[in-house]
Amino acid sequence: MTAGAYALGVDFGTESGRALLLDLHGGAELAVSEVAYPHGVIDRTLPATGEQLPPDWALQDPDDWVAVLDTAIPEVLEAVDGAADAVVGIGVDFTSCTVLPVTSEGVPLCRLEPWRARRHAWPKLWKHHAAQPIADRLNEVGAERREAFLGRYGGRISSEWYFPKLIELWREDRECYDACYGFVEATDWIVWFLTGTERRQSCTAGYKAMWSPDDGLPSAEYFAAAYPGFDRPAAKLGTEFAPLGTRAGVVRPELAARLALSESVAVAVGNVDSFVSVPGAGVESPGTFVTVAGTSICDLVIDPAEVRLPGITGVVRDGILPGLYGYEAGQAAVGDMLAWFVEALAPAGADYSTLERAAAAIGPGATGLVALDWWNGNRTILADADLSGVLFGLTLQTTPEQIYRALLESIAFGNRRIIENFDEHGLRLSEIVACGGIAERSPLMMQLLADTSGLRVSVPASTQIPARGAALFGAVAAGAFVDIAGAIAATRPPIARSYEPDTSVRPIYDQVYAVYRSLYELLGRSQAGLLHDLKRIYSERRAS
Amino acid sequence: MTAGAYALGVDFGTESGRALLLDLHGGAELAVSEVAYPHGVIDRTLPATGEQLPPDWALQDPDDWVAVLDTAIPEVLEAVDGAADAVVGIGVDFTSCTVLPVTSEGVPLCRLEPWRARRHAWPKLWKHHAAQPIADRLNEVGAERREAFLGRYGGRISSEWYFPKLIELWREDRECYDACYGFVEATDWIVWFLTGTERRQSCTAGYKAMWSPDDGLPSAEYFAAAYPGFDRPAAKLGTEFAPLGTRAGVVRPELAARLALSESVAVAVGNVDSFVSVPGAGVESPGTFVTVAGTSICDLVIDPAEVRLPGITGVVRDGILPGLYGYEAGQAAVGDMLAWFVEALAPAGADYSTLERAAAAIGPGATGLVALDWWNGNRTILADADLSGVLFGLTLQTTPEQIYRALLESIAFGNRRIIENFDEHGLRLSEIVACGGIAERSPLMMQLLADTSGLRVSVPASTQIPARGAALFGAVAAGAFVDIAGAIAATRPPIARSYEPDTSVRPIYDQVYAVYRSLYELLGRSQAGLLHDLKRIYSERRAS
């Protein structure tokens, strides 16, 4: 790679977006600019009308995303001399499945009258959960019909995915459904906005819309069996999906002028924030367990072999890096669970850092407690949203700090369980690369991951892992590298901190983990009905 | 009963003692005086030497008890005109098993040089737990030898009882053991002090020293099998035990003068604070479940039939009221568990009353949680000190107030389980009488007991239930009544509040209780090894 070539990575998160200017010669992060979405997460009232939104709704405003482009890109270009001319490509990544209905010109329906006043016309954020009954129905019918595609998703699809959200639109606002040309992932919409050309990618098609290169979509008969009349599943999704790293086009001339970019800048097809963390973290080969630890944990593994793993979130060919199967697994409540503790139960004045210090002083196995970290259900490997958290071993001497440490240990045990699941099915893992807010802020959590798994944990020296990954795909789209592997090799971030497993404490954790594992099987499988009953009784009481 | 006859009840608790002047005509409480023990619970350093006490030790100073007599009795006599002449009898009750080594003159060894400097010479308080390994050994050998006496104690004896404490003395300070004439219950020592005559009673012999009127003590062979050389179990206990209500003697003349009492005042043999609550609360007949709800819960039932109940703390003939079998059951952590919550986890500024209001507003089954109230192990019916507390159903929305309500509900469910255990074995219960601090302070807890059990809960209008019961036995000893039943009938306290079961919520609690009951069996019996493992790992880590 010639020196002096840069790429832009634009990372769209839940509350804000940011642009990163990356030096393709060595991978230095030259400038970053972050912009909070003016409307944030829209989960109370619809901006256009003030209408109160139902429970479990979560929307966004596409103008907020455009504001990120308009502000953050010029800012990073201005920060570095000669940057505007040095940028060869742009990649974007987005939360997923965040989807919106658009016209055939790519205009979001929510920008147009009269649709603006209809809540279904707005982008539905990944964590919009109102389509849960639809996901339940799709799972039920899929299980009855023994649909083979479910095997790629650990046996269950999520309410956060494409078809539950699309069928929700189809059932609840048919006019809006009929009026839209397409129902597109936000990451594809941003690329469309940048280039003026519609080009959807295969990553979200595979992970969120149950599409595969070999089998296409689940059959129309399947969908119609669940929802009679809904028999054209590809109607709003399309059928052509470009591989990651494909050049979608170049930045539209009027937009290039507005953003102070040169007109020849290539734009890659869209990416997803979690998956793009693999190249962003410098990982290009099998055997590495990439764990993105934030509000929840998303675990990513790439491998040449396809294996059907129980409880996997999804396995998609070319889904993370071209030519390999991409595996996604995860833990549903991580930062969320710790935040709940700090807010609901921590002593007055305690914060993450005081709790971390106190928890570190307690030592392995010295809490007397075990937790099942199911505060938001279990994602992998039980794939059961109706489970809930459990805390065992409470005594009159139990301290809040012991409970906090038990929560951290339960996250590590859940992680070990997932790694074992890969190992047991022939996908051997030899190291962990961790990124995300928890990796940056909790050395104790990282040490626990190392000590319980017996694997080294490395934390790359970057707070912009997803944006780095997006930028690399932009560079590939621009032809700056032959392929993504070459881009990763040329720009791999240094390791900020690594955590070696302490073999002296492994026997202690093995003992506690044996208890955890037994309780996990007992309450998560053989007697899972008990926690399900509890949740059902609770829902009935709240509803009454 | 002639008008104008009074009795004194002196109640010795864990932190203080109090005297009550009771009008035997109608049962009015004429005066009360409470005196805190100057040394309280001695669990850190030995007063005589400053020596640091080992963990799990808890001692008291007998001079503190005498201070209660010296201060509280003259105070209540002074408060009511003509009281000194009207008092016909005195009864005392004490915590149990609180025991001390004494000389043949009844002088506590800890008052004498050189014994004063030896920690084993001091009274061991009921909650002195350092003899746990000895209790474990006695249980193990008892089970191996299939000792029939264990059936009267639900299959297990407690480390708090007489023989674990006596064998601890025998093993750890043989000189002190050899030097003492007797090892006596504090309640018997107080009577000895008052009258100058040694007279031990049958209640503690039955509940705490495994004695029964028919079978006497467990055999010398049994004790010697557990502890070779310890083969004279009656040596420090004696063999003669007087029934409750027996006149032990009259107040010693010099003490009568010091306390401003007339010399003819009769003194009853000693009583125990929990058991004496039955007559104190006005209960004289079978079918009533008396629950003394404080730090822990002690449940008492009287019945003409003897039944071997699983998990019972003890069943003793004449143990509570003469002529009936007295059953004791209980829950190990009640007020203690709530205090733990307030101290460790409650929001800043929250106290019992704010938490009670918030918990009351939540409503039945609306916490999403179930707790197993085993913070201090389970007393009845599992009789397993190595169990620990569990909290099921935690989510990101769980509030501290929901947890607090779940703890209250778990106490009520534990209570229902105990009542069912009586019912299942043919002892039908038709009402609950509740006393103790929790009965006075938590109407929600009382309503929960009623709603979950389906029985009316009555709370007598008195904060001096044990002292009332002690006074009644004093009155019987003085001949003021023919028997204790007559004394109870003449003085029964009015009911301050009663709580009717709300049948409309019973179906909801039945659903939650079904989950509780399944989890109870699962983690308390079939998979109890999991919580035991957790406790073992914890002990090993603390010790290392």
Q: Which helix (H) or strand (E) holds A413?
A: helix A400-424
- Inspect the interface and report whether the beta carbons of B400 and A368 lie closer than 8 Å: no
Residue A427: other Cβ atoms inside 10 A: 20
Could you tell me if B370 lies within 8 Å of chain A, comparing CB atoms?
Answer: yes
Binding-face residues of B in 261-280 toward A, CB within 8 A: none
Which are the contacts of A450, defined by CB distance < 8 A and separation ≥ 6? A432, A456, A457, A499, A500, A501, A502
For tokens 């630890």, the residue is A293
Asked if A83 contacts A8 with a C-beta cutoff of 8 angstroms, the reply is: no
Decide which of B256 and A312 is more confident.
B256
Residue A257: other Cβ atoms inside 10 A: 12
CA distance B347 to chain A (A): 7
Residue A184 to residue A169: CA distance in whole angstroms: 13
Residues of A in contact with B393 (CB under 8 A): 388-390, 531, 534-535, 538
- Inspect the interface and report whether the beta carbons of A344 and B375 lie closer than 8 Å: no
Residues of B in contact with A506 (CB under 8 A): none
CA distance A9 to chain B (A): 33
CA distance A544 to chain B (A): 10
Which are the contacts of A461, defined by CB distance < 8 A and separation ≥ 6? A493, A494, A495, A496
CA distance B167 to chain A (A): 28
- Inspect the interface and report whether the beta carbons of B389 and A393 lie closer than 8 Å: yes
Residues of B in contact with A373 (CB under 8 A): none
CA distance A374 to chain B (A): 7
- Inspect the interface and report whether the beta carbons of A366 and B396 lie closer than 8 Å: no
Could you tell me if B345 lies within 8 Å of chain A, comparing CB atoms?
Answer: yes
- Helices and strands, counts by H and E, chain B: 19, 18
Residue B31: other Cβ atoms inside 10 A: 18
CB-nearest partner of A396 from B375, B522, B538: B375
Single-letter amino acid, residue A372: L
Residue B459 to residue B215: CA distance in whole angstroms: 37
pLDDT digits (tens, 9 = 90+) for B62-104: 999 999 999 999 999 999 999 999 999 999 999 999 999 999 9
Residue B4 to residue B514: CA distance in whole angstroms: 54
Would you state the pLDDT for residue B3? 58
Interface contacts A/B by beta carbons within 8 Å: 145
CB-nearest partner of B537 from A340, A394, A511: A511
Q: What are the C-alpha distances in Å from A227 to residues A130, A137, A312?
A: 17, 9, 26
Could you tell me if B517 lies within 8 Å of chain A, comparing CB atoms?
Answer: no
- In the three-class reduction of DSSP (H, G, I as helix; E, B as strand; rest coil), residue B318 is classed as coil
Mutate to test the interface with B, among A338, A392, A518, A523 (most CBs of B within 10 A): A392
Could you tell me if B361 lies within 8 Å of chain A, comparing CB atoms?
Answer: no
- Inspect the interface and report whether the beta carbons of B538 and A340 lie closer than 8 Å: no
Q: What is the pTM of this model?
A: 0.91
Could you tell me if B518 lies within 8 Å of chain A, comparing CB atoms?
Answer: yes
Residue A70 to residue A48: CA distance in whole angstroms: 23
Would you state the pLDDT for residue A312? 87
| Nearest one of A477, A493, A95, A22 to A284, comparing CA atoms | A493
Residue A250 to residue A252: CA distance in whole angstroms: 6
Residue in chain A lying closest to B530 (CA): A515
Residue in chain B lying closest to A535 (CA): B368
Would you state the pLDDT for residue A2? 53
Could you tell me if A117 lies within 8 Å of chain B, comparing CB atoms?
Answer: no
Confidence of residue B365 (pLDDT cuts 50, 70, 90): confident
Which are the contacts of B493, defined by CB distance < 8 A and separation ≥ 6? B27, B281, B282, B460, B461, B462, B465, B468
Could you tell me if B531 lies within 8 Å of chain A, comparing CB atoms?
Answer: yes
- Inspect the interface and report whether the beta carbons of A537 and B515 lie closer than 8 Å: yes
> Dihedral angle at the C-alpha atoms of A465, A467, A468, A471, nearest 10 degrees?
160
pLDDT in tens, chain A (544 residues): 555 899 999 999 999 999 999 999 999 999 999 999 999 999 999 999 999 998 889 999 999 999 999 999 999 999 999 999 999 999 999 999 999 999 999 999 999 999 999 999 999 999 998 998 999 999 999 999 999 999 999 888 999 999 999 999 999 999 999 999 999 999 999 999 999 999 999 999 999 999 999 999 999 999 999 999 999 999 999 999 999 999 999 999 999 999 999 888 999 999 999 999 999 999 999 999 999 999 899 999 999 999 988 888 899 999 999 999 999 999 999 999 999 999 999 999 999 999 999 999 999 989 999 999 999 899 898 988 889 999 999 999 999 999 999 999 999 999 999 999 999 999 999 999 999 999 999 999 999 999 999 999 999 999 999 999 999 999 999 999 999 999 999 999 999 999 999 999 999 999 999 999 999 999 999 999 999 999 999 988 877 6
Residues of A in contact with B389 (CB under 8 A): 393-395, 398
Which are the contacts of B491, defined by CB distance < 8 A and separation ≥ 6? B22, B23, B24, B26, B27, B282, B468, B472
CA distance A157 to chain B (A): 21
Tokens of A469: 């990954």
Binding-face residues of B in 418-447 toward A, CB within 8 A: none
Cis peptide preceding A203, ω within 30 of 0: no
Residue A431 phi, psi (nearest 5): -160, 160
Residue in chain A lying closest to B395 (CA): A375
Q: Strand runs (DSSP E) across A28-155, as ranges?
A: 29-36, 87-94, 99-102
- Inspect the interface and report whether the beta carbons of A537 and B512 lie closer than 8 Å: yes
Residues of A in contact with B333 (CB under 8 A): 396
Using a 10 angstrom Cβ sphere, with 0-12 exposed, 13-18 middle and 19 or more buried, the burial of residue B43 is middle
ipTM: 0.91
Residue B234 has pLDDT above 60, yes or no: yes
Could you tell me if A415 lies within 8 Å of chain B, comparing CB atoms?
Answer: no
Residue B467 to residue B279: CA distance in whole angstroms: 10
pLDDT digits (tens, 9 = 90+) for B381-395: 888 888 999 999 999
β-partners of residue A293 are: A297
CA distance B88 to chain A (A): 44
CB-nearest partner of B534 from A333, A348, A370: A370
CB-nearest partner of A368 from B394, B522, B538: B538
HSE-up of A515 (CA within 13 Å, CB side)? 29
**Please, what is the Cα angle at A77 between A74 and A38, to 5 degrees?**
35
Q: Which helix (H) or strand (E) holds B408?
A: helix B400-424
pLDDT digits (tens, 9 = 90+) for B454-512: 999 999 999 999 999 999 999 999 999 999 999 999 999 999 999 999 999 999 999 99
Residue B116 has pLDDT above 60, yes or no: yes
β-partners of residue B302 are: B326
- Inspect the interface and report whether the beta carbons of A399 and B368 lie closer than 8 Å: no
Residue B39 has pLDDT above 70, yes or no: yes
Would you state the pLDDT for residue B80? 97
CB-nearest partner of A394 from B336, B389, B522: B389
Residue in chain A lying closest to B346 (CA): A345
Residue B30 phi, psi (nearest 5): -85, -35
Tokens of A349: 């004045």
Could you tell me if A362 lies within 8 Å of chain B, comparing CB atoms?
Answer: no
**Please, what is the Cα angle at B53 between B50 and B58, to 5 degrees?**
115
CB-nearest partner of B393 from A363, A366, A534: A534
Residues of A in contact with B537 (CB under 8 A): 365, 368, 508, 511-512, 515
- Inspect the interface and report whether the beta carbons of A376 and B395 lie closer than 8 Å: yes
Residue A277 phi, psi (nearest 5): -70, -25
Residues of A in contact with B400 (CB under 8 A): 344-345
Confidence of residue B126 (pLDDT cuts 50, 70, 90): very high
Residue B44: other Cβ atoms inside 10 A: 9
Residues of B in contact with A395 (CB under 8 A): 375-376, 388-389
